[in-house]
Amino acid sequence: MQGELRTVQLDPKTSIKENADRYYRRSRKAKDSKEFLSQRLIELESGLKQIEGAITEAESVTTLQSVQALAASIGGEIPKSQSAGTKDAIAKPSYEGHKIKSVKTPDGWEILVGENSTSNDYLTTKVASPNDIWLHARAVPSAHAVIRSQNRPMSVSLAAILLAAEQVARRSQAKHAGLVSVDYTLKKYVRKPRGSAPGQVTYTNEKTIDVIASEE
């Protein structure tokens, strides 16, 4: 109640002025804290309303562009790993209609495999990054394969390279030969000669691995 007298306990070891200063600092700190908490409460209530609106809008999202716009409106971003509820049209790239198969290795590396010559060409020249690992059957026509290395080619496991090589071997002219030799190198060492047919390339700095062209 305004005007009400209150009794406060003073520290007998300090002066009246020091006691007054101590209580003034406490009062100022409490006032500042109250103002901060009030402003923070307003901000949280505003943020909650924004999230509730985003949830409502998300129920009707069907395209990648819509997802990006919604994420930008609430200051977020699309996570690298799409949730189970995300539509396939958002989670899977179209590769502009080219037939490219995606295979995940048990240790988490992604392998991309071209299913025909034009897809091979697109995979090698448009999709693969310089430090991705690129594979092709040695000396015979085959699919092109790429292991997405995330700029860490030295971290790609031998198991991932073997699995990618098997994908190439079973899509090569040597698939009935038992063992198939598959070359692999970094994509930056792969060149497409000017005017060459789709899927035709040259490469250097390769290593070779022999695999069995088993069925899928």
**Does residue 156 lie within any of the structural domains?**
yes
SS3 at position 193: coil
Please state, in angstroms and rounded to a whole number, the distance separating the CA atoms of residues 187 and 196: 18
pLDDT for 126 beyond 80: yes
The stretch 165-186 carries a mean pLDDT of 94
The residue assigned the tokens 């025909």 is: 116
**Does residue 22 lie within any of the structural domains?**
no
**Does residue 182 lie within any of the structural domains?**
yes
The residue assigned the tokens 């290593």 is: 207
pLDDT bracket for residue 90 (50, 70, 90): very low
Q: Which residues constitute the domain of residue 169?
A: 94-212
pLDDT of residue 83: 44
Phi, psi dihedral angles at 135 (to 5 degrees) = -130, 150
**Does residue 81 lie within any of the structural domains?**
no
pLDDT for 110 beyond 60: yes
The stretch 63-89 carries a mean pLDDT of 53
For the ranges 7-21, 49-63, 67-81, 184-198, which has the lowest average pLDDT? 67-81
The pTM of the full predicted model, rounded to 2 decimals, is 0.59
**Does residue 23 lie within any of the structural domains?**
no
**Does residue 47 lie within any of the structural domains?**
no
Please state, in angstroms and rounded to a whole number, the distance separating the CA atoms of residues 14 and 100: 82
**Does residue 148 lie within any of the structural domains?**
yes
Average pLDDT over the chain, rounded to an integer: 81
Please state, in angstroms and rounded to a whole number, the distance separating the CA atoms of residues 56 and 59: 6
Phi, psi dihedral angles at 184 (to 5 degrees) = -140, 145
**Does residue 208 lie within any of the structural domains?**
yes
The DSSP H or E segment spanning 134 is strand 133-137
pLDDT for 34 beyond 80: no
pLDDT of residue 216: 64
List all residues 6 or more positions away from 4 whose beta carbon is below 8 Å from its beta carbon: none
Under 8 Å between Cβ of 164 and 147 = yes
Which tokens in the block code for residue 157?
A: 């496991």
pLDDT of residue 85: 46
pLDDT digits (tens, 9 = 90+) for 135-150: 999 999 999 999 999 9
Tally of domains within the chain: 1
